[in-house]
C-alpha cells in the first residue's frame, strides 16, 4: 500500500489518523481533567464532519513536556499533544488539563484547505502580548468560553466570525 503524498485535500492514507486515545492528553479520570470541545464550521455555517484537529499545550504548571513519544498513551501521563477528528455534526472533544500558559496551540486540517491552519485557543481572561495586537473585533475568535466541565472553542473556517488564523515563517 502506498502512503498518500503530502497534501491536505485528500484522499488520505488513514494510518493513525485518528488513533485510539488521540484526543486524551490525560485520562478522563485524571483529577485535573477538563473537557475542551467545540465545532468546526465552514463559511456557510455548515458543520465540517471530516476535519482533524491537533493541539499542543503546557501542563497545569506551565511546563511543556520534553519527552518524545507523545503518541503513546499510558493512562496517567500528561502528553501535551492530542489529535481529534470531528464527528458528523462537526463536533470535536479533547480531554486535557487547563494549561499554566495563556493559550493552547491548535492546527486544523480540513477538506478544501490547501494547507493546514494554525491558531490559538486562549483561556478566558488571558493576557498575552500577541493577543493584545489582534483587533478588538476579531480577538473573541481566539478566546475559549468557560463551561462547567471545561472549555468550548468553536472554529469558523471563513466568513462572518472567521477564526483568526496565524502564519509562521516557512508556512504559507
Mean pLDDT by 10 residues, the chain (172 residues): 55 62 92 97 95 95 79 79 95 97 96 90 96 96 97 97 90 61
Report CA dihedral (112, 116, 117, 120) to the nearest 10 degrees. 140
Q: What is the pLDDT of residue 113?
A: 85
| Burial call 48-77: b when 16+ CB within 10 Å, e when fewer | bebbbbbbbbbbbeeeebeeeebeebeeeb
CATH class of 33-156: mainly beta
Distance CA 106, CA 82 (A): 10
Q: What is the pLDDT of residue 66?
A: 76
Q: What is the pLDDT of residue 12?
A: 55
Q: What is the pLDDT of residue 5?
A: 54
Nine cell digits for residue 119: 491558531
**Residue 8: φ, ψ to 5°:** -115, -5
Give pTM, 2 decimals.
0.88
Q: What is the pLDDT of residue 145?
A: 98
Q: Which of 131, 143, 134, 112 is CA-nearest to residue 49?
A: 112
Q: Which of 127, 33, 45 is CA-nearest to residue 142?
A: 127
Q: What is the pLDDT of residue 14?
A: 59
Q: What is the pLDDT of residue 111?
A: 86
Amino acid at each position: 500500500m502506498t502512503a498518500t503524498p503530502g497534501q491536505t485535500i485528500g484522499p488520505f492514507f488513514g494510518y493513525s489518523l485518528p488513533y485510539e486515545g488521540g484526543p486524551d492528553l490525560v485520562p478522563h479520570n485524571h483529577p485535573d481533567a477538563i473537557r475542551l470541545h467545540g465545532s468546526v464550521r465552514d463559511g456557510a455555517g455548515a458543520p465540517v464532519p471530516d476535519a482533524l484537529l491537533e493541539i499542543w499545550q503546557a501542563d497545569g504548571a506551565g511546563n511543556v513536556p520534553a519527552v518524545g513519544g507523545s503518541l503513546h498513551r499510558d493512562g496517567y501521563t500528561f502528553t501535551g499533544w492530542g489529535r481529534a477528528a470531528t464527528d458528523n455534526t462537526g463536533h470535536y472533544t479533547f480531554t486535557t488539563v487547563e494549561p499554566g500558559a495563556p493559550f493552547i496551540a491548535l492546527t486544523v486540517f480540513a477538506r478544501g484547505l490547501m494547507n493546514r491552519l494554525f491558531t490559538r485557543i486562549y483561556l478566558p481572561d488571558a493576557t498575552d502580548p500577541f493577543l493584545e495586537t489582534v483587533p478588538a473585533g476579531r480577538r473573541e475568535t481566539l478566546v475559549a468560553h468557560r463551561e462547567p466541565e471545561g472549555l468550548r472553542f468553536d472554529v469558523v473556517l471563513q466568513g462572518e466570525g472567521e477564526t483568526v488564523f496565524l502564519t509562521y515563517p516557512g508556512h504559507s
